[in-house]
Amino acid sequence: MARKRLTMKKIKEVIRLKYEAGLSNRAIAATCKVSNSTVGEYLARAEAAGLGWPLQDTGEEELYARLFPEGNTIRPETKRPMPDWEKVKREQRQKGVALLLLWQEYKQEHPTGYQYSQFCEHYQRWKKSSAEPRLRKEHRGGEEMEVE
């Protein structure tokens, strides 16, 4: 999962504390209440973008684009083949058939397909979204009795 980026105000503060105040990365991290590695990452990005202190009169959008150039390029998302979940569910009901075995068959058929963890994740999502509604009866103890 991708981490949330710092606000532009906090990024500017990290750069200012490094170049104007001359603080160490640990001191900046403690002051801004972020991790030491985050400070190092943002300072490396600023150095790669050729930014120093004081920052030129650049807008936040331009500064953001210079710090995160990979965010500007649109990466084509690779489409991976999805298995037939109904078939997976049917086959999983058979004795001795596990999801791992079904995934191995899927990978033989589609070598560029999902790895096991994502296969299981997609299967769980599908199972949850296609679950049949069940009748649930709220029962309060002592109010009524059920006899079979």
Query: Cα–chain-centroid distance for residue 74?
Result: 18
| pTM of the predicted protein model | 0.47
| Closest of 115, 96, 117 to residue 106, by C-alpha | 115
* Nearest-angstrom CA–CA distance, 99 and 111: 17
Higher pLDDT, residue 60 or 2: 60
Structural domain of residue 98, as residue ranges? 85-129
Residue pLDDT, tens place only, 52-78 = 777 777 777 888 888 888 755 555 556
| 1 domain-assigned | no
| Closest of 72, 82, 94, 147 to residue 119, by C-alpha | 82
CB-count burial class (<10 Å; 0-12, 13-18, 19+) for 15: buried
Residues 65 and 104 in one domain: no
| 45 domain-assigned | yes
| 67 domain-assigned | yes
Higher pLDDT, residue 1 or 40: 40
Residues 65 and 13 in one domain: yes
Instruction: Supply the DSSP symbol for 73.
Output: S
CATH code of the domain containing 37? 1.10.10
Residues 64 and 30 in one domain: yes
* pLDDT for 100: 94
